[in-house]
């Protein structure tokens, strides 16, 4: 059976060149980077090279790159690290209602520790209004955290404008750029951010490794204490194979940026066309233009998202309903609800995210398969049959 993976926002396959370099740092240069002997120095060289490659991808200096155990840890480090560092300065954190749970649940946890939080609303496309950020900032605000692009609906936030407002007001700004990196041109100076999170496994790298970019001069209280690794910002022997894998993935993301983005946009647009041709009463969720090139999020009216997912899976097609982290729960996506999408429409939502290996034939197969599935499910749906036309 044909298998089509359309869940690249959840994770991506590891690029063979990434596997190759990781293999080398497991079988050959497996030393501890902190050791002064040649075994250690070889491993250190690999980590240094990876740091330079990640820095080049986002326009940072290598010293501003802190390796973490993934995007979730980078988000936690940015938010808790700032909260603890600046707790004598203020207790107020601003974020948005559509953040990834790695941000939302971290801020909610800090509220239980006595911090105060504002969750900014979004418009019907999932976009934050920079004016709302400006109005929410008070003298006790210590951090604003707004994602660069949404993992569910793909909406790209006006991050540069928000960063400018924060800078003017002297408030630290963090962005979760896990989905944006590799899909949007990300330059930390052009964006004007203080802290930025990214993750290897969303850009054809390995799982369990990420980065927090920390602008020079920005101080954070560390989450982990121990050795002096990562300039005392993250203790623990470096996960060398993962780090060099991320370095290679970052290098490929930089060198292949234009061709990948062009490919994503082409197959994503084809996919949407094939689906619209075959499935009546389907809506696009998220912004029509200000969205990630690989993201399609749609609602099929009168059909349950979970039923479509199971049926697509039986046809070898891997998609998602909202975020992978919440699937299994019956609550519709917090992102779609924040956009004001009614419960019943949110329940019929599907996220399809294309990748480098998605083909034109895949889009035709998915359009036809989804068409058959929706026809079948709607034939059994009293709501569909009773609908007012």
Ligand X SMILES: *Cc1c(COP(=O)(O)O)cnc(C)c1O
- Looking at the annotation, which residues are catalytic? 325
Q: Does 234 bind ligand X (CB under 6 A)?
A: no
User: C-beta of 348: minimal distance to ligand X in Å?
Assistant: 22
Please give the Cα distance from 191 to 187 (Å, whole number): 6
**CA distances (Å), 383 to each of 303, 312, 376, in order?**
9, 22, 14
Residue 81, interface with ligand X (CB under 6 A)? no
Which range, of 67-75, 292-300, 310-318, 354-362, touches ligand X by CB under 6 A? 67-75
Q: Which range binds ligand X by CB under 6 A, 22-30, 119-127, 133-141, 194-202?
A: 194-202
Q: Contact 190/59 with Cβ under 8 angstroms?
A: yes
Question: Shortest approach of ligand X to residue 286 CB, angstroms?
Answer: 14
User: Cα(19)–Cα(249) distance, rounded to whole angstroms?
Assistant: 10
Nearer residue to ligand X within complex by CB, 71 or 222: 71
In whole angstroms, how large is the CA radius of gyration of the chain?
Answer: 22
Point out the residue whose Cβ comes nearest to ligand X.
71
Angle formed at CA 128 by CA 73 and CA 123, multiple of 5 degrees: 125
Among 199, 294, 297, 363, binds ligand X (CB under 6 A): 199
202 scored as a contact of ligand X (CB under 6 A): yes
Options 172-180, 251-259, 349-357, 358-366: segment touching ligand X (CB under 6 A): 172-180
For residue 365, give Cα distances in angstroms to 2, 191, 253, 342, 377.
9, 39, 28, 30, 18
Distance CA 289, CA 244 (A): 35
- The nearest distance, CB 195 to ligand X, in angstroms, is 13
Question: Per-residue string for binding with ligand X, 100-119, x by CB under 6 A?
Answer: x-x-----------------
Q: Give rounded-to-5 percent helix, strand, coil for the chain.
A: 45, 15, 40
Binding segment for ligand X among 111-119, 199-207, 311-319, 361-369 (CB under 6 A)? 199-207
Cβ(175)–Cβ(159) below 8 Å = yes
Candidates 379, 370, 378, 383; CA nearest to 310 is: 370
Residue 292 CB, shortest distance to ligand X, in Å, is 10
User: Minimum Å distance from CB 377 to ligand X?
Assistant: 29
**DSSP at 329:** B
**Site map for ligand X, 323-362, x if CB under 6 A?**
----------------------------------------
Q: Please report how the helices 240-255 and 16-27 are oriented relative to each other, as an axis angle in degrees rounded to 10.
A: 150
Within 268-327, the residues that bind ligand X by CB under 6 A are none
Instruction: Choose between 151 and 321: whose C-beta lies nearer to ligand X.
Output: 151
Relative to beta strand 116-120, strand 4-5 is unpaired
> Which residues are at the interface with ligand X (CB under 6 A)?
70-72, 75, 100, 102, 147, 151, 176, 178-179, 199, 201-202, 210
């Amino acid at each position: 059976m044909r298998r089509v993976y359309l869940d690249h926002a959840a994770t991506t396959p590891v690029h063979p060149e990434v596997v190759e370099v990781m293999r080398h740092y497991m079988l050959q240069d497996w030393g501890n980077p902190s050791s002064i002997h040649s075994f250690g120095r070889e491993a250190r060289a690999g980590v240094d090279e990876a740091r330079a490659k990640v820095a080049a991808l986002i326009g940072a200096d290598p010293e501003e790159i802190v390796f973490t155990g993934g995007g979730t840890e980078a988000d936690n480090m940015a938010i808790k690290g700032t909260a603890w560092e600046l707790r004598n300065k203020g207790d107020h954190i601003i974020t948005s209602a559509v953040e990834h749970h790695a941000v939302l649940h971290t801020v909610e946890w800090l509220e239980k520790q006595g911090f105060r939080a504002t969750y900014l609303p979004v418009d019907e496309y999932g976009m934050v209004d920079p004016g709302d950020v400006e109005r929410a900032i008070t003298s006790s605000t210590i951090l604003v955290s707004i994602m660069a692009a949404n993992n569910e609906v793909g909406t790209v936030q006006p991050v540069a404008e928000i960063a400018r407002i924060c800078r003017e007001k002297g408030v630290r700004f963090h962005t979760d750029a896990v989905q944006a990196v590799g899909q949007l041109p990300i330059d930390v100076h052009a964006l004007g951010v203080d802290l930025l999170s990214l993750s290897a496994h969303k850009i054809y790298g390995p799982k369990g490794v990420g980065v927090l970019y920390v602008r020079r001069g920005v101080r954070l209280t560390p989450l982990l204490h121990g050795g002096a690794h990562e300039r005392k910002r993250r203790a623990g022997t470096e996960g060398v194979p993962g780090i060099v894998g991320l370095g290679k993935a970052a290098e490929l993301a930089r060198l292949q940026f234009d061709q990948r983005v062009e490919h994503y946009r082409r197959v994503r647009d084809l996919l949407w066309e094939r689906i619209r041709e075959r499935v009546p009463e389907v809506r696009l969720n998220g912004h029509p233009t200000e969205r990630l090139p690989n993201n399609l999020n749609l609602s099929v009216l009168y059909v349950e998202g979970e039923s479509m997912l199971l049926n697509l899976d039986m046809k070898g097609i891997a998609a998602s309903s909202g975020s992978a982290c919440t699937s299994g729960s019956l609550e519709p996506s917090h992102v779609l609800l924040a956009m004001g999408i009614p419960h019943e429409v949110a329940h019929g939502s599907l996220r399809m995210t294309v990748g480098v290996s998605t083909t034109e034939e895949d889009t035709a197969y998915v359009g036809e398969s989804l068409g058959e599935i929706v026809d079948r499910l709607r034939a059994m749906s009293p709501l569909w049959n009773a609908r007012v036309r």
